[in-house]
Structures are given as structure tokens and as C-alpha cells.
Amino acid sequence: MRTTGKAALAAVAALSIGLTGCSGDKAKPGAGASGGASGATSAGASGAASAGASGDTGATTGGGPGSVASCLVGTWKADNITGKLSGSVSGTFTGGGGTLLTIDSGGKTQVDFGPMQPVTFTFAVSGSDVKGSFSYGGKVNSAIKSPSGTTGTLEPTGSVDFGTLTVTLDLTAPVAQRIADKVSIAEFAGTGTANTGGAVDPQPILKKSQYECGSGTLKLSPPQGADGTGTWTFKKA
């Protein structure tokens, strides 16, 4: 059985896996693009998505040449994203290999989720183990800026177009069921994000992050002192 959108969220509730206790703050408006699991918002994601849908591509050019560190420039292929869930639930998630990140010398950036492998997650709530996997689809465009060093803070310089970003979600425990099949992030975020324990980030990769690059590798992590949804590790494609 496949469900999408609001029907998907209803299906989650119908599974009676006790997720109402972990929805809490994760389903409330949060900090926008810099937020993580605790700031996963339907307002932020739907705003970005609606901007793309209304004709704003979000593919802004940002600053001029040299606005990003030279070690960031190129095409990167994700090894994985790894992280721990915290707050209302505790658990882990890992996966996402194959995702492509391309950055040019002027900061223009694209993330291609088409080749992405699923991310698996697991957490416990109300005495039950919740397990599943998800993957994103579509391409996200923006522009970024960073200092010139091999470590520092990376952040978008203009709008980020999440209008074509989709989510596919499969539960494997306590029951096996496809909950969302290429649902737009704007429709999924909020309650949908909370129902994965915060593993699904409504604004993945293209947001304020700590970067570390060198020797053909790139890591993107949540900013210091901020809640986040894991660390992405890339290698030069």
C-alpha cells in the first residue's frame, strides 16, 4: 500500500506506534534554514518550496568569484550522513551515499538527490522500536559563501529552492509499510519530520553548516551549539 501527503501522515497515526509523544516541538515552527531536528518546520520548508513553485528558482549567484574556499570547489559525492537523534526520542540514522554536491568558484551550488541511497533510522518510543528508511529526490539550487580556510562556516547567500525536493519514506518496524512516495518536502515537513524522530531534515545540506575540507574529502556538520541532523561526509567525484 502506498500513501502520499496528508494520507501518509494519517497512515502513520493509524499504525498506533505512539509517535504523538515525540511530535512536540519538532512539529512547531522553528529556526528556519539553520535549524536541525528541533527546528524542522513546515513553515520554513513550505516557504522555500512555494518560492520555487511560484517561479523563483532560488539559483542565485551570490557573491563574486572567491566567495567560497577553494577547497570547496568541485563536484562531491556523498559517502553517507550519520547522526544521533536527541530530545524527545533517542536513536541513530545513517546512509545517503551517492548524493551529489556541486560548488563553483563563485559559490553557485546544486545538490542532486537523484542518486541518493536510502538513510536508515531507528529509535524507541512508548516501548516500541521504530525503524525505517527514507530518501530525498530532486535537485536543490542556491549559492553559498564561506571564509577562505579549510574550516569554517558555510551558509547560503540567497534563497534556497526546495520546491522540487521530495521524500520517500518506508517503515520496517513495528510494521512494514510505505508511508510516503515522493511527497513534496513542503507537505511532509512538520508532523512528517517528527514522525521519523527528526531524522528527515526539511532543509538538507544547503543551510548554515560547519565545513571541513581537504585531501579530497568534505564534511558538513551542524554549527557549534546548534541542534542538527547529522554530519554529511563527501569525497571528490
pLDDT band (50, 70, 90) for residue 174: very high
pLDDT of residue 22: 36
Give the bridge partners for 59, in sequence order. Answer: none
CB 35 within 8 A of CB 227: yes
Q: Which helix (H) or strand (E) holds 18?
A: none
**pLDDT above 70: percentage of residues in the chain:** 70
Backbone angles phi, psi at 25, to 5 degrees: -70, -25
Task: State how far Cα 81 lies from the chain centre.
Answer: 10
Residue with cell 559563501: 145
Mean pLDDT, range 227-234, rounded to an integer: 86
The mean pLDDT of the chain is 77
pLDDT per position as a tens digit, 26-68? 333 223 333 333 333 333 333 434 333 333 333 333 333 448 9
Q: Is the peptide bond before 115 cis (omega within 30 degrees of 0)?
A: no
pLDDT per position as a tens digit, 70-101? 999 999 999 999 999 877 788 999 999 999 99
Rounded distance, CA 16 to CA 149, Å? 49
CB 76 within 8 A of CB 237: yes
Burial (CB < 10 A; 0-12, 13-18, 19+), residue 20, is middle
Rounded distance, CA 75 to CA 16, Å? 43
CB 132 within 8 A of CB 171: yes
Residue type, 37: A
